[in-house]
């Protein structure tokens, strides 16, 4: 009896105006009409393509951290990134494997030092001030690759006033750990005005910033 009532209800919802129960329906339902009754399989098992709870949690955390990094990366020379997306044991390395910082505190401290030096009044007299980064992002299941370039603008007066604007560019590859946080940051393809920079030079430069 319940099945009969359900069938009658479905027919009533798709029948022409003016139809009464017991009379035949001669007009076909248009093909574009959306079905109003769905058959549901009560088996209860999920298809194998669904993520496990652990994988789903990692994917959600990774997505949040990638989006946060995309928001903060353009200002890398102006302020340190948020601590949220980085693991306690994150490592910053050059393209030759030279370790530049180990641990979240040292990593964030290095970028904070870069921001302080970049804002120093001394650069108004002599030096090049790094501007906002232009970034291109390529996300994968286990890493985020960022190709970036930043203008280096000389001071309007002093020793560097005679130089034009330079461009510092490079690639940062952020590896995602098992928990979805960034566990490694590898710098590579660093160049000044298109000319490659030696890793030893970059390492010395960042070490000076850290002081």
Q: What is the number of H-type helices and E-type strands within the chain?
A: 4, 8
Residue 152 maps to a domain:
yes
Q: CATH code at 141?
A: 3.10.450.50
What is the domain extent for residue 66? 58-210
Residue 89, domain member (yes or no): yes
How many residues are listed for the chain in this entry?
A: 211
* Residue at 28 is within a domain: no
Query: Is residue 94 in a domain?
Result: yes
Residue 10's alpha-carbon distances to 14, 15, 38, 119, in angstroms, are 7, 9, 11, 70
Mean pLDDT by 10 residues, the chain (211 residues): 42 50 50 45 60 88 95 94 95 88 95 90 77 95 95 76 83 96 95 81 59 55
Residue 14 lies in a domain: no
pLDDT recorded at residue 2: 44
Q: Would you state the pLDDT for residue 197?
A: 84
For the chain, the domain total comes to: 1
| Domain-embedded: residue 36 | no
Token duo for residue 134: 């232009």
9 belongs to a structural domain: no
Query: Distance between CA atoms of 203 and 98, rounded to whole angstroms?
Result: 8
What pLDDT is recorded for position 164?
79
According to the model, what pLDDT value does residue 210 have? 57
| Residue 51 to residue 79: CA distance in whole angstroms | 36
**Is 90 within a domain?**
yes
């Amino acid at each position: 009896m319940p099945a009969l009532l359900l069938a009658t209800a479905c027919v009533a919802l798709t029948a022409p105006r003016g139809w009464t129960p017991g009379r035949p329906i001669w007009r076909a339902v248009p093909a574009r009409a959306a079905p109003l009754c769905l058959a549901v399989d009560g088996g209860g098992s999920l298809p194998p393509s669904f993520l496990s709870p652990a994988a789903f949690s990692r994917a959600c955390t990774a997505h949040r951290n990638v989006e946060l990094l995309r928001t903060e990366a353009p200002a890398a020379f102006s302020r340190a990134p948020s601590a949220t997306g980085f693991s306690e044991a994150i490592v910053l390395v050059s393209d030759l494997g030279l370790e530049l910082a180990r641990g979240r505190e040292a990593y964030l401290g290095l970028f904070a030092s870069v921001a302080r030096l970049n804002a120093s009044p001394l650069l108004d007299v002599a030096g090049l001030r790094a501007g906002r980064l232009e970034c291109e992002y390529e996300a994968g299941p286990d890493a985020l690759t960022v190709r970036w370039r930043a203008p280096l603008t000389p001071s309007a007066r002093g020793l560097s006033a005679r130089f034009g604007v330079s461009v510092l560019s490079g690639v940062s590859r952020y590896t995602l750990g098992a928990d979805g946080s960034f566990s490694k940051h590898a710098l590579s393809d660093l160049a000044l005005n298109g000319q490659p920079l030696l890793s030893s030079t970059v390492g010395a430069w960042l070490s000076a910033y850290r002081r």
